[in-house]
């Protein structure tokens, strides 16, 4: 039953993504859509900010705009978090200002669409911060990713011109035309299923046992909707969508699971409509889905198989491994969510990843390490684009032509940028984990001094690896056993998130800008067609060998050894 | 190119010896750094060497024995040597090939005409650009040049292997002569066109010399990609050190360096420059002198081929194939008139008419016409013929000129004759008319003979995605017929040199890459405009300067070969890159368990090859990594067999062989080496 349920969620999401992709393509092209009544609002925004949304910009000007506005947001969110004590309203629980390194980490984490959350929402952030800083950033950081993708599409479609369109135009439209309408729909679904939406402070109730319990609440539905749709992942409450107020029942769980993947998948179809190459979209979709299932199926099998330690004790587990999972979701739907949220760089959870069986942890990490199976909103395809450039380069040679990507020659500069971007991910993840391992090893009595790891050994290693993987992939989920609210983790993961966000946007946009100016070469029988099944196979192989193999030694030391030694 | 049986064996004794020596010379780090992948292997070797001797002084259980460390050092060193050897061998072969060509230009005396008119004997090596020398029958032409006076038959077999002599003359499009060829008849004045050391051959030699060779753009891009992979694996290995410490499994330096060297793409890194040199060498072997490596690479990308009809699609020139007698005179008499009217027509067509007449046993005895006037064929009159003292007037020429002649005599072309003319034209032939005493007498049919097998070659090209365009001076009707029969995709009829130019520009504007071959000065602008311009060596100096390749054989079909050489070059690079990267899967399975198995015995589950011990696993992997380079040298030098398939089937095929093969082969190879090491008790 749960398997069928999972299959339906995936299928329905893909089916919804097709028309959404077509719509997104229209939005990117600035064509008429049924949501044109938003136009006055958009015009007002442009007027206030003094932006001409129709000014054509080349890749440099667009990137400058993207980075500038992101810096402004970063400063805003830092300011809000550091001044929570003085918030004039929307702080009924009198939450205090954040400690600076934690504020830095949180600000970076929301600007970069990561939502790592080294704080707990109900005790660390005021309603004012949640709404005007965090939820606002959940919209615009997702919008940034989508707008960046619009620039990339333009670059691929262009023939011998420099202009990639206008970043601000796409940013505003991504929010008003894509994220906002979808979030409203999802929030309504959540509200109908009793997710709270209130500005009142915590409620104090007396339980049947007579204990006094303070129950946190707040404007939850709004935040949950955008955290799912915008591959943000940052929940209102610390426990995220395991919390019954964020994710009350099976219907909300299905809607939220689907919302994780909806926009990332739609972006692939949008590519097909935008470039009028539907077959190419299907090939990329097939590669992504194959990768997704390659991670999902073994995870489900691992979780339904139960915890081997309990099995060794001679106890049967007909329900599968239930540690860290909600009884209302069970192992299959938890596994489905956990892989969906890791491949898409969302990072919201409906179960505790730290408690999954050892190998499932490896699959979750692999999803983030590759970060291109659907991927984050906008940036998912941008990551895939880098793998595509490398695959095109090698397979182009194998058909005896100097490589071409959709009719544009891939030459020295494109290869240089692509390989530098591809390098970054292993550097951040492995380098970060190496730094953490080294620090742990050179510290005397680290358990007492550093207090990061409750259980050193393989699992502790997995926790550190997971944290850096999640940061580099701008995912934001965590193996929560890690004591990560320390200056070391706040600063190191903050830097990793920044690099992991902006370099993979800058590089591909540069490539798009370069390709945009190149002469278009019409296809011939000798041209490698990207929309062929064979290229799909090649692309998948490149992702596995160039992407996955790099992380094998680290995964062997963490989850694989844990699995083998249990 | 079977007619050039030059350096054919891959491993010739002298070449191997020279290459062996060079592989040590190339160890110089200043030279190695040009190949970043192998440079880091060299660096790793040095570190391992230091490490080995450090261990000799201060044994350390974690780092393994001195012997083991030294063994790893040796294998790494051999890996570098193998890569150098591959490059050196390719270079030696290229040079040897160039030498055989150069030998044809041994010191040869030349009779240089001094400014004052005197003749002075100068050795060929002392000739300067602009010098003029005279070469007479039986002498060897001292150096490359252009005939400025005279006409001669020349034996070019030393260069082209083709024994039939060729005619070269001043002024025309066939005025170029090559040093080392022999004048058979007549005498010519030749002007030297290149300084010593700057001839095309000299330029080509720099393309096959590793040290001086300029990397091509695609090769640079691939080198960057490979360097990127190298850095990735550097990150993987360096971070493994703290990971190992955390897991209470200190990893030996030897293991880390071995893992690193195995993972980086040393196979393609070691063979890359050999592949490039071998590509140039293959061009040279086909008697093509490329002026840059880029030109050969571009040839693989060609979308449009402009081919001259004559010599490429059809054999030589049109030939007379039929006589049509329409005037009721006896056939023998008509054919005799046909032959008579062609005696003064020196064009190949004219000669073929006389030959065809001979086949009908009709021969003309010139002595019978001693007192008569032959009318020479000229481009202006487009007629040839004979006026006898006895008042007979025979003319042969194009239909239009004969019609004018007949009409000026008050006659007309009979209807049945017009029908024959139209039939011939509609079937791709060229009709010539014959008149006797101003009256239409009949028609001679000229036909193009299409080369056998040319349709299949065009089909091959079509599968490769190359469009073929026939260029001809024929009228559109004839051109269309021949184009259809030969299977070319398009044609340019009644082509003037500027038509070629315009066609090339139009195709390039649409983003296509165009290749053409030419010989005349008229062709020079188009040769320069084309992405790949192949000039015939017999062509004018202007044409040779304008093109980016020179074909020593003057063979118009050579363009097709050039395209294949270019594609083969790229495919070989792609295939070996894929193979090299795919190898990593097995190497991971060999080395990763070996690294940690001491402290995590459960990792034995990952040792799916069942390698005997961690040390033997690591040693087997690095040995495999080293010996795969020489094993693949023949492939790198000969190039991956090229098949004219569509891009998708080609990718499928190469992905299967080099991708899947690249995954499987090392599993077997590493296991085999492990077994051998165990048998011989080496670990």
Contacts with A435 from chain B: Cβ below 8 Å: 242
CB A248 within 8 A of CB A195: yes
What is the model's pLDDT at position B683?
63
Q: Do B245 and A438 touch (CB under 8 A)?
A: yes
Mind telling me the catalytic residues of B?
A: 308
Overall average pLDDT of the A382-397 stretch? 93
C-beta separation of B383 from B400 below 8 A: no
Q: Does B509 touch chain A (CB under 8 A)?
A: no
Q: Could you say which residues from 268 to 327 on chain B have a Cβ atom under 8 Å away from some Cβ of chain A?
A: 297-298, 300-301, 303
Residue B115 is predicted with a pLDDT of 84
- Kindly report, residue by residue over A425-458, the tens digit of the pLDDT: 999 999 999 999 999 988 888 878 888 887 788 8
The least confident of B33-47, B390-404, B415-429, B535-549 is: B535-549
pLDDT of B295-311, one tens digit each? Answer: 888 888 888 988 888 76
A497 closest CA partner among A16, A109, A101: A109
A370, A391, A399, A406: best to mutate for the B interface, most B CBs within 10 A: A399
pLDDT at res. A293: 96
pLDDT at A542 over 70: yes
Most B CBs within 10 A among A456, A464, A526, A545, hence the mutation to make, goes to A526
Residues A57-69: tens digit of each pLDDT = 999 999 999 999 9
Q: pLDDT tens for residues A300-326? A: 999 988 888 888 888 888 888 888 888
Q: Which chain B residues contact residue A394 at CB under 8 A?
A: 225, 574, 577-578, 581
CB atoms within 10 A of CB A312: 9
Between B118 and B37, the more confident residue is B37
Helix then strand count (H, E) for chain A reads 23, 4
Residue A351 CA to residue A335 CA, distance in Å, equals 8
Which residues, numbered 138 to 157 in chain B, qualify as contacts with chain A under a Cβ-Cβ cut-off of 8 Å?
Answer: none
pLDDT value at B63 more than 90 = no
* Whether pLDDT at B1 is above 50: no
What is residue B264's three-state secondary structure?
Answer: coil
B600:A564 CB<8 A:
yes
User: What pLDDT digit, counting tens, does each position of B593-608 carry?
Assistant: 998 888 888 888 889 9
The answer to whether A160 and A515 are in contact (CB under 8 A) is no
Q: From the CB of residue A89, how many other CB atoms can be counted at a distance below 10 Å? A: 9
Query: What ipTM is given for this predicted complex?
Result: 0.92
pTM comes to 0.86
HSE (CB half, 13 Å, CA atoms) of A333? Answer: 26
Cβ pair A329, A244 in contact under 8 A: no
Binning pLDDT at 50, 70 and 90, where does residue B164 land?
A: low
Q: What is the mean pLDDT of residues B22-43?
A: 92
pLDDT at B7 > cutoff 50:
no
CA distance B215 to chain A (A): 12
Query: Residue B162: is its pLDDT beyond 70?
Result: no
A23-32 average pLDDT score? 92
Q: Which residues pair with B682 in a beta bridge?
A: none
* HEC-encoded secondary structure of A117-158: CCCCHHHHCCHHHHHHHHHHHHHHHHHHHHHHHHHHHHHHHC
Cβ–Cβ contacts within 10 Å for residue B617, how many? 30
A517 or A122, which is more confident: A517
DSSP string, A341-371: HHHTT----SB-GGGS-HHHHHHHHHHHHH-
Q: What is the pLDDT of residues A87-103, one digit of tens each?
A: 888 877 788 888 999 99
B445-460 burial string, b = 16+ CB within 10 Å, else e? bbbbebbeebeebbeb
Q: Count of CB contacts below 8 A, A vs B?
A: 213
Bridge-based pairing state of the strands A408-409 and A404-405:
antiparallel
B228 touches A: beta carbon within 8 Å:
yes
A250-285 burial code (b ≥16 CB/10 A, e <16): eebbbbbbbbbbbbbbbbbbbbbbbeebeebbbbbb
Distance from CA of A111 to the nearest CA of B (A): 28
A 10 A CB-CB count for B346 gives: 12
- Residue B393: phi, psi to the nearest 5? -130, 115
CB B544 within 8 A of CB B527: no
pLDDT at B157 > cutoff 80: no
Query: Is the Cβ of B235 closer than 8 Å to some Cβ of chain A?
Result: yes
């Amino acid at each position: 039953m749960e398997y069928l349920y999972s299959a339906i969620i995936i299928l329905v999401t893909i089916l919804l993504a097709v028309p959404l992709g077509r719509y997104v393509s229209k939005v990117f092209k600035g064509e008429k859509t049924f949501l044109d009544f938003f136009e006055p609002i958009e015009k007002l925004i442009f007027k206030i900010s003094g932006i001409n949304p129709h000014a054509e910009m080349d890749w440099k000007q667009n990137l400058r705009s993207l980075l500038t506005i992101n810096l402004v947001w970063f400063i805003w969110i830092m300011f809000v978090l550091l001044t929570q004590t003085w918030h004039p309203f929307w702080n009924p629980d009198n939450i205090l200002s954040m400690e600076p390194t934690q504020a830095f980490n949180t600000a970076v984490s929301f600007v970069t669409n990561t939502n790592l959350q080294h704080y707990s929402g109900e005790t660390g952030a005021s309603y004012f911060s949640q709404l005007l800083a965090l939820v606002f950033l959940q919209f615009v950081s997702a919008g940034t990713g989508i707008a960046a993708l619009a620039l990339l599409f333009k670059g691929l479609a262009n023939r011998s011109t420099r202009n990639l369109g206008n970043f601000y135009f796409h940013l505003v439209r991504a929010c008003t035309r894509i994220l906002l309408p979808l979030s409203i729909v999802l929030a309504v679904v959540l509200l109908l299923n009793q997710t709270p939406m209130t500005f009142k402070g915590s409620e104090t109730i007396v339980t049947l046992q007579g204990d006094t319990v303070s129950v946190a609440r707040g404007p939850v539905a709004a935040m949950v909707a955008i955290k799912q749709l915008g591959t943000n992942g940052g929940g209102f409450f610390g426990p995220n969508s395991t919390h019954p107020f964020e994710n009350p029942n099976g219907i909300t769980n299905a809607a939220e699971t689907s919302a994780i993947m909806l926009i990332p998948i739609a972006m692939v179809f949008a590519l097909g409509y935008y470039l009028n190459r539907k077959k190419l979209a299907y090939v990329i979709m097939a590669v992504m889905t194959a990768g997704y299932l390659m991670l999902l199926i073994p995870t489900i099998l691992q979780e339904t198989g139960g915890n081997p330690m309990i099995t060794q004790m001679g106890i049967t587990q007909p329900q599968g491994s239930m540690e860290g999972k909600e009884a209302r979701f069970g192992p299959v739907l938890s596994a489905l969510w956990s892989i969906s949220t890791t491949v898409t760089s969302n990072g919201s959870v409906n179960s505790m990843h730290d408690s999954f069986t050892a190998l499932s942890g490896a699959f979750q990490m692999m999803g983030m390490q590759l970060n291109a199976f659907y991927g984050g909103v906008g940036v998912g395809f941008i990551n895939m684009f880098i793998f595509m450039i490398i695959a095109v380069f090698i397979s182009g040679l194998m058909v005896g032509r100097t490589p071409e990507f959709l009719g544009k020659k891939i030459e020295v500069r494109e290869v240089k940028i692509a390989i530098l971007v591809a390098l970054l991910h292993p550097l951040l993840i492995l380098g970060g984990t190496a730094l953490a391992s080294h620090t742990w090893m050179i510290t005397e009595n680290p358990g007492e001094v550093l207090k990061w790891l409750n259980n050193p050994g393989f699992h502790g290693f997995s926790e550190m690896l997971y944290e850096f993987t999640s940061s580099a992939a701008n995912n934001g989920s965590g193996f929560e056993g890690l004591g990560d609210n320390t200056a070391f983790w706040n600063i190191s993961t903050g830097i990793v998130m920044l690099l992991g966000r902006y370099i993979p946007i800058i590089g591909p946009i540069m490539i798009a800008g370069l390709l945009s100016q190149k002469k278009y070469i019409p296809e011939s029988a000798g041209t490698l067609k990207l929309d062929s099944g064979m290229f799909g196979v090649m692309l998948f192989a490149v992702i596995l060998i160039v992407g996955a193999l790099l992380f094998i030694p680290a995964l062997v030391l963490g989850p694989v050894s844990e699995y083998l030694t249990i | 190119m079977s007619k050039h049986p030059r350096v054919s064996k891959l491993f010739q004794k002298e070449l191997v010896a020279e290459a062996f020596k060079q592989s040590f010379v190339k160890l110089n780090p200043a030279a190695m750094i040009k190949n970043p992948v192998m440079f880091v292997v060299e660096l790793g070797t040095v570190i391992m060497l230091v490490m080995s001797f450090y261990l000799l002084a201060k044994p350390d259980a974690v780092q393994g024995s001195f012997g083991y460390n030294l063994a790893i050092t040796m294998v790494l060193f051999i890996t570098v040597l193998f890569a150098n050897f591959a490059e050196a061998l390719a270079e030696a072969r290229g040079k040897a090939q160039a030498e055989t060509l150069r030998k044809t230009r041994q010191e040869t005396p030349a009779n240089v005409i001094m400014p004052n008119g005197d003749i002075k004997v100068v050795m060929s090596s002392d000739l300067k650009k602009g010098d003029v020398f005279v070469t007479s029958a039986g002498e060897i032409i001292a150096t490359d040049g252009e005939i400025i006076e005279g006409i001669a038959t020349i034996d070019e077999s030393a260069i082209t292997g083709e024994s039939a002599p060729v005619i070269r003359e001043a002024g025309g499009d066939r005025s170029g002569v090559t040093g080392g060829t022999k004048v058979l008849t007549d005498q010519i004045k030749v002007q030297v066109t290149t300084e010593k050391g700057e001839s095309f051959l000299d330029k080509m030699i720099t393309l096959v010399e590793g040290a001086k060779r300029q990397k091509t753009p695609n090769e640079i891009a691939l080198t960057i990609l490979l360097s990127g992979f190298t850095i990735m694996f550097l990150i993987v290995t360096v971070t493994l050190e703290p990971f190992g410490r955390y897991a209470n499994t200190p990893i030996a330096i030897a293991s880390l360096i071995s893992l690193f060297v195995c993972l980086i793409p040393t196979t393609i890194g070691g063979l890359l420059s050999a592949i490039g040199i071998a590509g140039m060498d293959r061009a040279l072997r086909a008697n093509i002198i490329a002026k840059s490596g880029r030109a050969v690479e571009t040839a693989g990308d060609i979308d449009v081929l402009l081919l001259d009809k004559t010599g490429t699609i059809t054999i030589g020139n049109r030939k007379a194939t039929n006589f049509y007698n329409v005037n009721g005179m006896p056939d023998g008499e008509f054919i005799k008139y046909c032959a008579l009217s062609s005696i003064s027509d020196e064009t190949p067509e004219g000669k073929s008419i006389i030959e065809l007449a001979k086949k009908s046993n009709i021969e003309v005895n010139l002595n019978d016409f001693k007192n008569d006037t032959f009318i020479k064929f000229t481009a202006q009159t487009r007629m040839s013929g004979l006026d006898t003292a006895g008042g007979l007037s025979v003319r042969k020429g194009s239909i239009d000129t004969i019609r004018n002649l007949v009409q000026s005599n008050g006659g007309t072309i009979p209807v049945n004759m017009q029908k024959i003319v139209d039939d011939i034209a509609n079937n791709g032939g060229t009709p010539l008319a014959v008149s006797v005493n101003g009256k239409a007498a009949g028609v001679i049919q000229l036909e193009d003979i299409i080369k056998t097998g040319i349709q299949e070659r065009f089909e091959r090209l079509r599968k490769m995605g190359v469009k073929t365009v026939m260029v001809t001076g024929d009228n559109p009707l004839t051109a269309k017929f021949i184009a259809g029969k030969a299977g070319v995709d398009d044609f340019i009829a009644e082509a003037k040199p500027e038509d070629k130019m315009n066609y090339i520009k139009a195709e390039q504007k649409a983003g296509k890459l165009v290749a053409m071959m030419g010989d005349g000065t008229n062709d020079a602008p188009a040769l320069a405009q084309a992405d790949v311009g192949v000039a015939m060596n017999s062509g004018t100096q202007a044409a040779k300067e304008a093109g980016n390749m020179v074909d020593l054989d003057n063979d118009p079909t050579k363009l097709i070969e050039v395209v294949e050489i270019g594609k083969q070059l790229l495919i070989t690079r792609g295939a070996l890159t894929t193979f090299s990267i795919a190898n990593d899967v097995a190497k991971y399975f060999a080395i990763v368990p070996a690294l940690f198995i001491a402290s995590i015995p459960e990792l034995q589950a990952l040792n799916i090859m069942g390698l005997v011990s961690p040390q033997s696993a690591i040693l087997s992997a690095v040995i495999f990594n080293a010996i795969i380079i020489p094993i693949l040298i023949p492939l790198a030098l000969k190039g991956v067999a090229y098949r004219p398939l569509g891009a998708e089937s080609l990718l499928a095929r190469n992905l299967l062989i080099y991708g899947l093969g690249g995954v499987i082969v090392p599993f077997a190879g590493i296991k085999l080496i492990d077994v051998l090491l165990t048998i011989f008790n080496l670990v």
